[in-house]
Chain A
């Protein structure tokens, strides 16, 4: 497919599950990078070419909202699209994430079909 993705979640289990769901959804990436929080995600984005970021909201050190704010201030990465994968899907929180540049959100728990429906059109 020619895309690189960055998975940001403090749970290694969840990073594996998201990676597996992408594969099951038929969304195979050239490279799947991983980061355990927003700070580490910024480090990856500084070094690697990433086409899309899938990020958790509730993380240590730098949470999803702070990550979006910091990313928006860095010209070299501000246009990389971010989808939020989170248990927290209240309207206010998702609204804030979208105002900070998130292009969509997927609620945990999710199925590979849900991942395909949300990300598939975006990656075509």
Chain B
């Protein structure tokens, strides 16, 4: 199974079991994530035999819906709860990608998750990387999961 398929499987599992929200892949992988507008990005770094970054880019309105479902309460502004929830999604995705890339879990280290948010920003690495950018859809809107691994 290709890593794209495994990331899709992992993302669906996380959203179904923890966020309590239906999610599915929304078409083929994208070439670039492009400019990110009014978005929250959760990201986690990988170091060791595989170096890179795993990120989840969620538009504000979708992030509010996801956090509300995740926490079981209404959230109507981008606050610490939203940033923490998006960071935790990146953490869970990163941990599962680590398991996909390393069976024993010892030869890849994960950073702590962090978040970026703002009106408009780009997400680009300086290194030569293999990139996978996967679009997903929910009833509240779409989001992207991006994995960059150093060649």
Name A's B-contacting residues (CB within 8 A).
10-14, 16-17, 20, 58-60, 86-94, 108-111
> In the bound complex, what is the Cα–Cα distance between A10 and B102 (angstroms)?
24
B55-114 residues at the A interface, CB under 8 angstroms = 67, 70-72, 80-81, 84-85, 87-88, 91-92, 94-96, 98-99, 102-106, 110, 112-113
Q: Interface SS of chain A: helix, strand, loop or mixed? A: loop
Asked whether any CB of chain A lies closer than 8 Å to the CB of B14, the reply is: yes
Asked whether any CB of chain A lies closer than 8 Å to the CB of B18, the reply is: yes
Q: Is the CB of B106 within 8 A of A90?
A: yes
Known pairs A93-B106, A109-B18. 14 more at Cβ < 8 A?
A13-B67, A13-B84, A58-B91, A58-B95, A86-B95, A87-B95, A87-B98, A88-B105, A89-B95, A90-B104, A90-B105, A92-B105, A92-B106, A108-B18
Of all chain A residues, which has the CB nearest B102? A90
Contacting residues, chain A, for B81 (C-beta < 8 A): 12-13
Contacting residues, chain A, for B22 (C-beta < 8 A): none
Interface centre among A10, A58, A89, A92 (most CB of B within 10 A): A58
Q: List 23 A-B contacts (CB under 8 A).
A: A10-B112, A11-B84, A11-B87, A12-B80, A12-B84, A13-B88, A17-B70, A17-B71, A58-B95, A59-B112, A60-B112, A87-B91, A87-B96, A87-B98, A88-B95, A89-B105, A90-B105, A91-B104, A92-B104, A92-B106, A108-B95, A109-B18, A109-B92
> In the bound complex, what is the Cα–Cα distance between A68 and B30 (angstroms)?
42
Kindly provide the distance from the CB of B101 to the nearest chain A CB, expressed in whole angstroms: 10
Assuming the contacts A12-B81, A89-B99, A110-B17, asked whether A20 and B72 have C-beta atoms less than 8 A apart, the reply is yes
Q: Is the CB of B105 within 8 A of A93?
A: yes
Contacting residues, chain A, for B96 (C-beta < 8 A): 87
Contacting residues, chain A, for B17 (C-beta < 8 A): 109-111
> In the bound complex, what is the Cα–Cα distance between A60 and B91 (angstroms)?
13
Of all chain A residues, which has the CB nearest B10? A109
Of all chain A residues, which has the CB nearest B96? A87
> In the bound complex, what is the Cα–Cα distance between A82 and B19 (angstroms)?
25
Asked whether any CB of chain A lies closer than 8 Å to the CB of B26, the reply is: no
Of all chain A residues, which has the CB nearest B67? A13
B36-69 residues at the A interface, CB under 8 angstroms = 67
Assuming the contacts A20-B72, A60-B112, asked whether A88 and B98 have C-beta atoms less than 8 A apart, the reply is yes
Q: Is the CB of A91 within 8 A of B71?
A: no
User: What are the nearest 6 A-B pairs in CB distance?
Assistant: A90-B105, A87-B95, A92-B106, A109-B18, A109-B17, A11-B88
